[in-house]
Structures are given as C-alpha cells and as structure tokens.
Structure 1
Amino acid sequence: MEILNNLLPQIEHFRILGYWLILLVSLLESLVLVGVIVPGAVAVVLAGALAEQGYFDLGDLIWFAAIGAVLGDGISFTLGRHGAGLFKETNKVLKASYLEAGERFFRNHGAKSIFMGRFIGLVRAVIPFVAGLSGMGAKRFYLWNIISAFAWAASHLLAGYFLGQAWQMVEVWTSRAGIFLTALLLLFFCTSLLKRFIVKQGRQSLDLCRSLWISVTQALIANPDVAKFVARHPRFFSFASARLDRSRFSGLPSTLLGIAFLYTLLLLGGIVEDILALDPIVAVDTRLANLLYFYRDEMLVNGFLWITLLGKAKIVLSVALLCTVLFWLRARREFILPCLLTLAGSGLFSLLGKVAFHRQRPPGIGVYTEASFSFPSGHATIAAAFYGFIVYYLWRQAQSRNVRLNLLFGGSALILAIGFSRLYLGVHFLSDVLGGYLLGFLWLIIGICLVESRLFATGEKPLPQGSPFRIRLTSAALIAAELIFVILSGLQYNPARNSSKSVGAANPVGMDVVGGFDRYRLPRFTESISGKRQEPLNIILVARDEGSLASAFKAAGWQPADPVTIGTVSKTVKALMGNESYPTAPIAPAFWNGRINDAGFEKPTPAQTVRQRHRVRLWKTDLLTTGAGRVFVGTISLDAGMKWGLMHKMGTDIDSEREALLKDLLLGGRVTDSRTSRFVEPHSGRNFAGDSFFTDGSLSVVMID
C-alpha cells in the first residue's frame, strides 16, 4: 500500500508520458516478436483502474491503446509477408507450435480471426503474422485490425475502470445490501441448476410422460365398457377429440391457450378480491415493502433505476418501433399487428385498472414519487405482455432446444427483474406487481393466439437459410442505435429523490402512554410478514432520543446488536458451529405495525454462547409524552438454543425476561420511573417459527433519563 501511495503522485506528475506508455505496451503486446511475453493487457487494465481514480482520461486512453494495437498488428502483418523463418521450435519465444496454432485458428475462422484472435491468449500476436503469410488483402486486414483494436482497448480499459471501483463493491458486499446480493446469487445458482436439470432430464421425462399417456389412452380405448360409453355419447367425444387435434389451431393449441387464459384470469380475479377485502396479501404488501426498505442500498438503487427504465414509455415505444421494423425487414410481418395490439391492450387496461382502483402508492418509502395510482403495476404489465411477446417471437424462431431454454430463462429473468425493481424502489406493493404480471400474461396469450391462428391458417413459413448481408447489417445498426438510445436515456434518467423515511413527530399522549395505543389505533402484538399475530409487546421505553436509550442499555449491561451483514452473519455461523461467544451477534428483524424493528440489544447468558442470549427488539413510534419524550416499544425474549441447526428457539417464559430487563435497567441508574400494568389478556401462543410462549399480559413502562 505504501508503494502504491508513493507511485500514484509520480504517475500524476508524468500523466502525458503515461498515455504514450500505454500506446507502447499495446504496440509491443500485438507485435509478433515480443507479444507473447509482454503483459500489455494487464497494463491496459491497470490504466483503466487509474482512469477511474482521475489520473487519466478514459476516452484518451482508448485512443492511445487502440492506435498502439493497430500499429503492432500492422508491423506483424508486414513481417508475415516476408515468410515464416522467424518461427522455430528451438526458439524460446517464437516457437513453431505457436505459428501452427495461429494458422489453424486463421483457417477455421478466416477474416473473423483478425477480430477474434485479438482477445485470445498466445495467438493474439501470431494471427496478424499468419494473415500476412497467407496473402490476405491489406484493405481487408486493416478494416478488421482497426475494429478489433478499438474493441480490445475499450473492453480492457472499461474492465480496469470498473475494477477501480472494487473498494466500493467491498463496502456493498459487507453491508445489508450484501445479504440481498447473496440471495440473488443463490437464486441465480438454483435457477442454473434447474435449467441444467431440464436440459439433461427434460427430454427423458417428456418421453416417459408421453409413453404413459399413450399406454393409458390405448388401455382405455381397448376397454369394452369405455367403448360402449363412447358409443352412447358420440357428439361429446367428437367435440373432445377435435379439441385435442394438433393439426388445427382450434384443436389442441386453442385448448391449451384457453385453459391458460382462464386460469390467469381467475388468479387476477383473486388478487383483486384480496385487495378489496384486505386479505393477507395486503398485509404482506406493507411488511415486504418495509423489509426491502431495510435492505436498501444506494448502489443497488442505481442499478434498479436502470432496470426500471426498461418499463418507461419512451423506451418501450422505441423498442416496439424497432421490433416492427425488424419484423418487416425479416419478412415476419404476421407478428407486427399482434405485437402492437399486445402492447396497446396491456397498456390501456393497466391505465383503466389504476383509474378503477385508485390505490395509493406505498407511503413514505419510495425512492422517488410516481404521479399515477398503484394497482396494477404498469411496468409489470408491459414486462409480461410486451417483453414476453419478444421472448415468444425469439423462441418461435430458435431451432435449438438449448437456445429455447436460454431464451425462456433469460426472458423470465428480465421480466421478473423489471417487476422486482418496482418493489425495491418502493413505488409498488407486491400485489400491484403480481396483478400487473397477470394482466400482462392475459394480453400475451391474446397476442400469441393471433399469431398462431394466422400461422395455422396460412402455413408457417420456413426460416430463411441466410438473410442478405444488407438486412443483417441494417438490423445490427438498428439494434446498436436502440442500445445507444437506452444508454443515453439511462444516463439522463435521474428522478428527484424523496427524503428518507421518518417517523412522524407529533402524536402527543401526555403521560398516558398505554392509552395512546387506543387513541391512535396502534397494534399491541408483533406480526409475521403475512400479518399473523405473534407475541405481544411487553415493554415501553420513553427516552429523549436513540442516543439516551442506547446509553441506558449500555449502563444496564446490554449491548447493541450488530447490523445484519455478510461479515456478521459469517461470524455468527462460525460462533454457532464452535459453540462460541459472540455478545453482539445480529438479531433477525421482526415486524410491528407493518415495520421492521429499528434497534436491537442483547445480553449473554451464563453459558456465554451465541446459541443462548437475552434479546430485545425496539421500534421507534411517533408518540410523544409530556416533555417531548419519544416512545419506543419492544419485545424481550430468550434465545434458548437452536432448532433445525438454522435458527434460534425462543424461550417460553417471556414475562421473566421482561422482569430481568427491568431489573437491569434499574441497576443501571438511568431510570427515573417505571411501572407495570396489564396490556393484553393473559394467553399462550406460538410465534412464526412454531415456538410456544405464555404471558400474563403485563407490560413495563420505563422512563429513561
């Protein structure tokens, strides 16, 4: 680190020289005589990292690195025209085996090898030499040489540029966002395993099901009783047989699509009914929104802003225009009208749903403010309908089974990411996104029906063996233009951020703190994520602020729990495996009034192990007592051990834990007054993990100095 600190000022002092050094190493790395041993790519990546720190201009570096690469390849190409005598197996660097490898690569890939070879190890410096040796035309060579040089320079410098931000990534991965990112990686890993299983076992499973189906149907047909029943109802079985006919759209295709449409419609009706009746999904909405708020991170917010941009009107319309032109150019015009109808219908019905339900957005947690109503999510609707249609089109054109699976998994990931971005940014509830998906799938099915009926009526056109070069070039240019438009839109997309979520500041309760629960209709029990009632609150603390509260717990011998991060979770797992002490191990979040707890404190048991500990979760309320004391509510319990090897088991006697905490606080000397009163009816119950508890229903009210 000391060497780097001394080196960077020198680099800054010789900044102009640095650009020429990058040109030189890029030239040497592409030179047939020395490119095998010169680590030019490493130097270019390092330069990109220094550009991120402000020591170089990234755009200028790309020019210098690309020009060096062009010159190096040009020299190698010129040398290649004078023969292969430079390469001998006895040489330490210019071995004949390298030349043979380069010749094989050039023969296999032709002119493309100039571009591709730039990025491939030891043949990088050999390919231009082989091109000259093979008599390749200079104009053709330099065209691919220049294109590949700029691509190589940009990719390596950008890799270094983002590598220069690695320290920020370390901060992210050791924060709450790290937990979130780890969950996403685990999901991706499990999805990859599922895809691999389908690739390997899917065909066999389908063949087995098909064989069983044929065997069962043949056995039924051969049964004389079944034959008599069929003979007595010829119209019904004729109709049923027609519905299973694969040769007509009105047969099996329309049957399957009709069943899918009806099932999706019923699911959407269920979501609407749940919202109107305030069923459990609405309870999940609020708690999931608060849970995602708990794991919010600025870097992830910026990433999801890019993803949510794909559902914005101008991006969707530009992609729709691109698809229309490509369908026309590639003679797939039967997809144009269904695609546009799917987009227009899903957008219109999403708008009508918002007007009909007038559902408000999640209060107080949105990264930015959306002007429209919440249900259904327009982004989720468009993602399922429009982007789903694009996936359907690509799936229809793909010939390989593996390609089709990749399209389905990749398209599903994109659609889910767009919907999840709305949840993470706090602008939609879960039921909004689910309702949007279902509405979008309805219109996707309609679009598929329109295409399939047309293809069955006119006969599906065979795919062309190869599109003319001008069509491929035009298509590539249009797609590139669309990508540039999306990137520029993303760079300009910076919605005004809302202020951080905060608790209200003025709900006075005088000195009757318990009475404030009835006055302001606050719940007296904690909740699961689905809103199911858990253990009751059993302590209320009144303090000036969080600082005085933390000071009182410290004086009482309790320590604040560490935040939930990758590092603290790993440390907890290590302590659990070794049955060791970790007095500030993180506490899993819990819900009260739809919110995650704001703080947690803990105290070790005499066993001095992370498996057992006294813990309290606290929520900051908007209640104020006389003298502007802030009211905090909480639950105290004992982690009495582990269950299933995964989670703590709660002790049954939560009243004893309440009394023990009150005693500790009194001994700490920061309590000015305390009293215990009946808060709920005595009862026993179970928490979300199935652990039983009992309580006399009392609650302690503690005034902190």
Structure 2
Amino acid sequence: LISVSGSTVFLWFGKLGFHRARPDIALYFEPTFSFPSGHATIAVSLYGFLGYLFIHNAKTLQTKVNILSATTLLILAIGFSRIYLGEHYLSDVYAGFLLGTLWVIVAVTILKWLEYRNLFPALKELPYAKIVSIASLSIAALFVLFYNYTYPYKAAPHKTETSIVLHSSTDYFSKKENHFVYNLLGLQSRPVNIILYTNKSPCPRLIQKGWKPIPNTMILQPPLFWQAKEPECRLYKKEGSKTYLLDIWNSNLFYQNKKVYIASTDAVVGKKWDIVPLYLKDLSKARIYAANAIKNIYTKTEIQDITLAAPAILQHFNAQVYFYDGKSTVIKVIQP
C-alpha cells in the first residue's frame, strides 16, 4: 500500500511538473502527460514489492533466483511495451523505474522497522486461503479476457501529414535527422543511402525479382524507423555468403512531380557464436548492390551518387564498426 500509494502521488506530481507531451507515434490516446511513465512506475512499486515479499519468504536460493528473474522480466516487459506502442519515450520509462524503485526501498525500510519494533501481531493462517487465492486469480483472469479485450480504446490523434516539395535532394537529406534511420531506442542506426523518385512503391517489383520479406524469425534484425515511421517493406536477398538487407520507406516528399522513397541498406556476411550477425565493414558495397537491384526493375532510369555527409567510421547496435563513405545513390525513374 505504501509503495504503490507513494509512487502514485510522486508520479502525478512529476507529470504535472514536467508537462511532457506524448510521442507523436502513440497508438492509443492517453489523456495524461508522458513523463514519467505510470505503467513503469506501478510495475516496479507493485510487482517489485511483491517480488521482495516472495523472495523474503522463499526457502531455497534457487527459488529466490527464479522469483527475482520472473519479477525482473515482467517489469521490463511492461516498460518495453510502453515504448513499443509509442506511448512513452525511453527516458519516461527509465524515470518510472527509478521512481518505483525509490518507493519499494521506502516500503521495505518501513517493513523492516516494523519488524524490528515487533509491531506486527502474530499472524494466523487464514481459513480457506487457497480457495480465496484461486477465486481472486480467476476474477483477474476473467477481467483480462472479457473486459480488457472489449474496452473501447481510443486511437491517438495524429497530425495529418502534409506534402513537402523538394527543390534539392542534398538540402533535405544532408540534415542529420533526415539522413539516418534510428532503432527502437532512438539511437542512430544506419544512413539513408538510396533515394528513389517514382510514383509507385518499388517493393512489389523487388519481391518479384527474388527479394523476400524479412521474417520475424530472422534473429537480431531490430526494428528501424525513419522520422518515427516503420518501413513500407523490409527485404533481404542471399547472394553467395552474403545476405543483403534493404529497408524502404514511403515519404511525404515530392521531387520533380515524383514521390520520394528512401532506403537504407546493409549486408550480413556471417554470424558470431552462430547467433550475432556480422555486418559488412564497407557499407558502400551494400548500397551499390541494392541500387543496381532497384535500377534493374525499371525500364529506364537516371542514376547518380551524391555526397550527403563526410566519410566516417560508424557503429552498429551490437558495437560492430563499419565505414560509411557519406554517399547516397539517387535513382530517378524515367520509364517504369
């Protein structure tokens, strides 16, 4: 009670104090402010304290470790879900975890003080305790199954995307926020290294030419976002020992009366420990391969390389480094 109540009070003071708006990509409407995350705060203050009680009363070390692992995974899953649904920024969830942890410490401290002062009366085993526990869990399960799935969630309002007419490719894409795609944590992942001017998506034609959608089972291919949007298609194609990756985004950009599609490429050349992908050291090789593949699905195109940034040594999400030459390939479709 102290853990949850205290964290709830501090949570609302935090939301009112910071007035941080929700992310623009939120899936569901939430009437409250974003910072800190209420779900993350309550997850730690409630499940964290319950986990402590179970660990405190567990008899064996293995049981304690299992309870700790299960509690930690549950809390992290709740926090991750808030980021995945676009309801919070990473810092919101992190702050919620810290706030919840603070009140778990306060509650445990008070509990220990009460035990030290012998202020707890002798507790007797409640009659029908198992029956009451099973009934309570059943009611909770019925709530999740029948109420939660029928609750009329309200979709979050999103700003209507307005079209932007470009006068130059370099001016728009040379800006860092437009020139890179980002991972789930909001960290820079890969550069935009192909820019395509066409009025129809290239994805169906690429699939006809042997490219395949990346399956969910492909290990360690994290979600990527450009301007907070998911790719229209995520494709891969095996060529010898390499697996080329191609992520394509539809945009609200227009250039010379054609829609602008942007793409980011890479290639996996092997695996470390049979699970961690090893990527190309030179990203330009993946760009050239993918650009030629896109060029070949059209009858007539104009193609050129433009420099958008200085050459640099960059880093993948798994700390592997690669060379980026600062160039992007621009493909203009003349005849589909």
Interval of TM-score (by shorter of Structure 1 and Structure 2): 0.7 to 0.9
Question: How far apart, CA to CA, are the structure 2 residues paired with 1:696 and 1:412?
Answer: 42
Q: Could you tell me which amino acid in structure 2 is paired with residue 382 of structure 1?
A: I
What does 1:439-454 correspond to in 2, within 5 Å?
439-454=99-114
Question: How far apart, CA to CA, are the structure 1 residues paired with 2:60 and 2:120?
Answer: 18
203, 211, 236: which one aligns with 1:550 = 203
Question: How far apart, CA to CA, are the structure 1 residues paired with 2:11 and 2:106?
Answer: 15
Does residue 1:525 correspond to 2:175, yes or no?
A: no
Which secondary structure does the structure 2 equivalent of 1:564 belong to?
coil
Does residue 1:374 correspond to 2:30, yes or no?
A: no
Question: How far apart, CA to CA, are the structure 2 residues paired with 1:409 and 1:601?
Answer: 36
**Contact 2:291/2:329 (<8 A) preserved:** no
Q: Could you tell me which amino acid in structure 2 is paired with residue 456 of structure 1?
A: Y
Query: Once the two structures are superposed, what CA deviation does each residue of 1:336-355 show, in whole Å capped at 9, x if it has no partner?
Result: xxxx3332211111111111
**Contact 1:503/1:621 (<8 A) preserved:** no
Aligned to 1:355: 16
Q: Report deviation, 1:622.
A: 2.1
Question: How far apart, CA to CA, are the structure 2 residues paired with 1:651 and 1:516?
Answer: 27
Q: 1:400 to 1:503 in 2, by over 3 A?
A: same
Q: Could you tell me which amino acid in structure 2 is paired with residue 361 of structure 1?
A: R
Q: Could you tell me which amino acid in structure 1 is paired with residue 325 of structure 2?
A: T
**Contact 2:214/2:235 (<8 A) preserved:** no
Q: Report deviation, 1:694.
A: 4.5
Question: How far apart, CA to CA, are the structure 2 residues paired with 1:391 and 1:636?
Answer: 44
Question: How far apart, CA to CA, are the structure 1 residues paired with 2:189 and 2:78?
Answer: 33
Q: 1:495 to 1:622 in 2, by over 3 A?
A: farther
Q: 1:365 to 1:378 in 2, by over 3 A?
A: closer
Aligned to 1:479: 133
Aligned CA-pair RMSD: 3.9
* Structure with greater proportional strand content: 2
Question: How far apart, CA to CA, are the structure 1 residues paired with 2:52 and 2:243?
Answer: 54
Question: How far apart, CA to CA, are the structure 2 residues paired with 1:395 and 1:488?
Answer: 28
294, 302, 312: which one aligns with 1:674 = 302
Question: How far apart, CA to CA, are the structure 1 residues paired with 2:49 and 2:143?
Answer: 23
Which secondary structure does the structure 1 equivalent of 2:164 belong to?
strand
Q: Could you tell me which amino acid in structure 2 is paired with residue 542 of structure 1?
A: Y
Q: 1:386 to 1:537 in 2, by over 3 A?
A: closer
Aligned to 1:649: 279
Aligned to 2:3: 342
Question: How far apart, CA to CA, are the structure 1 residues paired with 2:289 and 2:161?
Answer: 31
Question: How far apart, CA to CA, are the structure 1 residues paired with 2:291 and 2:67?
Answer: 60
Query: Once the two structures are superposed, what CA deviation does each residue of 1:611-631 show, in whole Å capped at 9, x if it has no partner?
Result: 22554332222213454x331
Question: How far apart, CA to CA, are the structure 1 residues paired with 2:62 and 2:324?
Answer: 56
What does 1:150-169 correspond to in 2, within 5 Å?
none
Percent sequence identity over aligned pairs:
25
Structure 1 unaligned blocks of 5 or more: 1-339, 571-585
Query: Once the two structures are superposed, what CA deviation does each residue of 1:209-257 show, in whole Å capped at 9, x if it has no partner?
Result: xxxxxxxxxxxxxxxxxxxxxxxxxxxxxxxxxxxxxxxxxxxxxxxxx
Q: Could you tell me which amino acid in structure 2 is paired with residue 506 of structure 1?
A: T
Query: Once the two structures are superposed, what CA deviation does each residue of 1:628-684 show, in whole Å capped at 9, x if it has no partner?
Result: x33111234555x32535424315261x6555655555554434x525363424414
385, 394, 397: which one aligns with 2:45 = 385
215, 223, 237: which one aligns with 1:564 = 215
TM-score (normalised: structure 1): 0.40
Query: Once the two structures are superposed, what CA deviation does each residue of 1:569-616 show, in whole Å capped at 9, x if it has no partner?
Result: 49xxxxxxxxxxxxxxx97654544555432445554xxx2x225543
Does residue 1:434 correspond to 2:98, yes or no?
A: no
Which secondary structure does the structure 1 equivalent of 2:87 belong to?
coil
Structure 2 unaligned blocks of 5 or more: none
Question: How far apart, CA to CA, are the structure 2 residues paired with 1:418 and 1:665?
Answer: 40
Question: How far apart, CA to CA, are the structure 2 residues paired with 1:396 and 1:364?
Answer: 41
Aligned to 2:152: 496
233, 241, 255: which one aligns with 1:599 = 233
Does residue 1:632 correspond to 2:261, yes or no?
A: yes
Question: How far apart, CA to CA, are the structure 1 residues paired with 2:55 and 2:244?
Answer: 56
Query: Comparing both chains, which one has the higher relative contact order based on Cα–Cα distances under 8 Å and sequence gaps of 6 or more?
Result: 2
Q: Could you tell me which amino acid in structure 1 is paired with residue 314 of structure 2?
A: R
444, 452, 455: which one aligns with 2:115 = 455
Q: Report deviation, 1:376.
A: 1.5
Q: 1:631 to 1:562 in 2, by over 3 A?
A: same
Question: Larger Cα Rg: Structure 1 or Structure 2?
Answer: 1
**Contact 1:374/1:432 (<8 A) preserved:** yes
**Contact 2:29/2:157 (<8 A) preserved:** no
Question: How far apart, CA to CA, are the structure 2 residues paired with 1:453 and 1:420?
Answer: 34
* Structure with greater proportional helix content: 1
Q: Could you tell me which amino acid in structure 2 is paired with residue 508 of structure 1?
A: I
Question: How far apart, CA to CA, are the structure 1 residues paired with 2:158 and 2:198?
Answer: 17
